[in-house]
A and B are shown apart, each in its own frame.
Chain A
Amino acid sequence: MTSHLIILIIAIPLLGAFLLPLLNKFGKRIKYFWLATVLGLTDIFSFFLYLLIIEKGEVVYTLGAKFPLLVSPQGFPIRIILEADALSGFLSFIFLSIIFLIFIYSLKILSNYSFLDKFYVLYLLLTVGILGFLFTGDFFTLFVFYEISSITTAGLIAFFRSEECFKSAFHYLSLFAVGSLFLLFGIGILYSEYGFLNMGIIAKVLQFSFLDKVALSLIASSLLLKAGVFPFYFWKPEAYKVSPISAILLSIISSLSAIYILFRIFLGVFGVNLIFGWILILFSIFSIFMGIFLAIKENNIKKILAYLAISELGYIILGISSGIVMLNNDFGFKAIQGGLFHMVNDILDIGLLFLIIGVVIYITKSKNVLEIRGFGHKYPWLAGFFLLGVFAISGMPPLNGFASKIIIYESVFHLSPVLTIIGILGSILILAILIKIFAIIFLGISPEKYQPVPKTAMAVIFVFAILMISIGLFPGQFTSFFINPAAEALVSQQNYICK
């Protein structure tokens, strides 16, 4: 059983997604019970997979046969390969736990809308897409899972079925169709040169000709499009303005896993390349800056939080890519650790802010988020957690944002002090923007009607806040247990090729 864990993690949500509409005539509780079972089982399996990876090193799974007969000249099997090592195991465990918590949150918040079973089918399929990004071992499965996640996200954007939603879904899907065709073109160029599609084989036989650089740039552009950083960030505010909160958080998780697979390809397969590192550092600085610059003039809260998500992804890429450039120092490794640590903190912080905004919209039932005033008097707990999230995302000391951001600041300082200055300025401006939102929503004259906050949503917000505070108070233990083996697995190319 333990030898089949990877494929079970991908197959169980897929099976659950396809069986869900069949349970329609048994009533609501059976459907929710089935969803909770599917997501919970996947979470437990990913935890076992992570324990297995800590024992054994790296887990490689070839689909169809345990020791396949068709073997390339270098000794690699020619099959569809799934690979999990310390970094992807750790990320899959954390992302699946957060997906489970978001499902519990959306039980009550979305319960007034119709077509809910179709929403949950798309939700499970997007989970499959995210897991496929994390576990893929060759390029063609990367393309298939890229398409799965873009089509399902387009379906989730159009969930509320207003005119704006359909337009946004159309723009999103047409952009991502072109992006995925670029990805396929780049993979086709690589296949035409070397004849193999596995990442491990291409890592061994690669020569850096001009066609390879063309393929590399095409693959990188489409993965950066999915991530949503500097030149390709413009789909994010429009898509996040009209979609439900659970879909927004899943889209942020898929952006993080796209960043993971980008760095896996470019450190594991293509090797350390200084020009690529410097280009990514430039893109990340611009995305930090543009995210904040465009958010100051906005008034719609979901749009402001979308721009904030762009800035935080800029911090992550700044950390990891400056680690690539400085890899012969000791500080390069610390920078990569900071970037990976910030992935976890980012999804927790922005997740907390989005969840509270979702509760606010559910209670007031208004689409126009500018008109909400004075929430803080009747709901002091919500205001408190929002303030906690604001302090965490801008890097105040006992919380987790400070722990990861100071690792990034200190190690990037040795590359160039300008980067640290821009990072710190970015954090201060993020605080400025978020204080404005806090003052608009939570201070002022209180509304008359008082409706209790749904308990499941409050429980999930509470869990997020507890996780944030505990990671903030004990960052050393968290880093040494989870992130050090993950960063080692990212950096060492030799470990990736030999299995």
Chain B
Amino acid sequence: MQIIWQPKIALIFFLLIFFIIYFFYLSGEKKYKKDTFQTMAYFSGKTPSQNIKLQNIYWGFFEDFKKLYMFLAKIQKENSNDYIFLFILGSIIFLLALSL
């Protein structure tokens, strides 16, 4: 098994993509006034009534697995009793699995 890996080809590829993007950047509008309506974002529909935060972006995933998350949060409650209990449990599982 050989990994064929040529850093020169990767560098040439990278420079090519960089020049294409730079070409797109250069062919834009040169004269525009800052901080007027020309630089604001364009909403093509209803503007959102309430500010939805970005950190809820995976809300659907979280909702589907809610039971599993609640189960895990009930086990690990962040005090040292639970930590030591889980450590001893883990080492007993290791011992049982190794001595088979």
Direct A–B contact in the complex, CB atoms closer than 8 angstroms: yes
Q: Is the Cβ of B69 less than 8 Å from the Cβ of A178?
A: no
Q: B50 at interface (Cβ–Cβ under 8 A)?
A: no
From B55, B58, B61, B99, contact of A213 by CB (8 A) = B99
Complex interface: chain A residues within 8 A of B3 (CB): 406-407, 410, 476
Q: Report A59 CB to chain B, min CB distance, Å.
A: 32
Q: Report A108 CB to chain B, min CB distance, Å.
A: 30
Separation of A269 and B43 alpha carbons in the complex (Å): 66
Chain A positions 213-236 with a Cβ under 8 Å from a chain B Cβ: 213-214, 216-218, 220-222, 224-225, 231-232, 234-235
Q: Report A126 CB to chain B, min CB distance, Å.
A: 21
From B76, B89, B94, contact of A217 by CB (8 A) = B94
Q: Is the Cβ of B91 less than 8 Å from the Cβ of A275?
A: no
Separation of A231 and B97 alpha carbons in the complex (Å): 13
Q: A238 at interface (Cβ–Cβ under 8 A)?
A: yes
Closest B residue to A407 using CB positions: B3
Q: For the complex, would chain B's binding face be called helix, strand, loop or mixed by DSSP majority?
A: helix
If A171-B80, A213-B98, A398-B14 touch, whether A234 touches B86 (CB-CB below 8 Å) is yes
Q: Is the Cβ of A331 less than 8 Å from the Cβ of B87?
A: no
If A275-B98, A276-B98 touch, whether A475 touches B91 (CB-CB below 8 Å) is no
Q: Is the Cβ of B61 less than 8 Å from the Cβ of A296?
A: yes
Q: A342 at interface (Cβ–Cβ under 8 A)?
A: no
Q: Is the Cβ of A436 less than 8 Å from the Cβ of B99?
A: no
From B69, B89, B99, contact of A297 by CB (8 A) = B69
Q: Is the Cβ of A279 less than 8 Å from the Cβ of B97?
A: yes
From B7, B54, B65, B87, contact of A474 by CB (8 A) = B7
Q: Is the Cβ of B91 less than 8 Å from the Cβ of A182?
A: yes
Q: A23 at interface (Cβ–Cβ under 8 A)?
A: no
Closest A residue to B82 using CB positions: A234
Q: Is the Cβ of A275 less than 8 Å from the Cβ of B87?
A: no
Chain A positions 254-302 with a Cβ under 8 Å from a chain B Cβ: 275-276, 279, 293-294, 296-297, 299
If A175-B84, A178-B87 touch, whether A296 touches B58 (CB-CB below 8 Å) is yes
Q: B1 at interface (Cβ–Cβ under 8 A)?
A: yes
Complex interface: chain B residues within 8 A of A224 (CB): 90, 94
Q: A370 at interface (Cβ–Cβ under 8 A)?
A: yes
Separation of A77 and B24 alpha carbons in the complex (Å): 71
Separation of A167 and B84 alpha carbons in the complex (Å): 15
- Which are the 8 A-B pairs with shortest beta-carbon distances? A231-B90, A221-B91, A473-B7, A217-B95, A171-B80, A174-B80, A398-B10, A175-B83
